[in-house]
Chains A and B, each alone.
Chain A
Amino acid sequence: MAQSEQTGIIGKGITIRGNLTGGGDLVIEGRVEGQISLKNHLTIERSGHVEAEIRAEELTINGEASGNIDATSMVSITSSAKVAGDIKAPRVVIEDGAVFNGTIEMDVKLPDNI
């Protein structure tokens, strides 16, 4: 992946309340409450705890997330993740062991003859 833009890291000891917007990639190991809107890749690490409306291109969740997720490319929920909320993305991956509560909308194009 091109590292054209600076990656941000929210460390374990940090809590953010409010709006977070940006163009680069972001890794959350701490706590974020509010809204996140990111142009690139968001990773929520195992220690990360996010209570927010999330908009991003790509999202990888290894930790805890609650709130609605809107991704333009892909959402992957790994085995250590706990997620609650509605997901809207063209591609959604949920691994074995992950906990997920909510609806998923993959925005599938239905064939015309249905």
Chain B
Amino acid sequence: MANTVIGSSIVIDGEISGDEDLVIQGTVKGKISLKESLFVDSSGVVEADIETQNVEVSGKVTGNINASDKVELKSDCRVIGDIKAPRILIADGASFKGNVDMDVKER
């Protein structure tokens, strides 16, 4: 039970930072910066700029996402904002509006 869960009835207005996985089932407004993975569950609502390693969205996100590894938009999610990550997956059924920057580098 190491990871953090923001339950469906919780509302956070401010800044979340940390170095472990975070599951959001509630509402977060502000800014999220993590060194690990962020999961926005289907009941989760995020109005924040996100900076993490991995993001998996099943709920609603409004804000820019900057991931150092991967962003996954599951079906039924709603995402508005720009995404910047080396790997981006969008599932069938997902709704997304914004810019995608995969930052392709010469490797």
| Contact across chains for B12 and A18 when beta carbons are under 8 A apart | yes
B12 interface neighbour in A6, A19, A25, Cβ under 8 Å: A19
| Contact across chains for B7 and A24 when beta carbons are under 8 A apart | yes
Size bracket of the A interface: 20 to 34
B10 interface neighbour in A13, A14, A17, A24, Cβ under 8 Å: A24
- A-B contacts counted at CB < 8 A amount to 93
B11 interface neighbour in A5, A22, A30, Cβ under 8 Å: A22
* Closest chain B residue, CB of each to CB of A14: B18
| Contact across chains for B26 and A9 when beta carbons are under 8 A apart | no
Q: Can you add 12 more A-B contacts, CB < 8 Å, to A14-B16, A14-B22?
A: A7-B7, A8-B9, A9-B4, A12-B2, A13-B20, A17-B16, A17-B17, A18-B15, A19-B14, A20-B12, A21-B11, A24-B9
**B positions within 8 Å CB-CB of A:** 1-22, 25-26, 30, 36
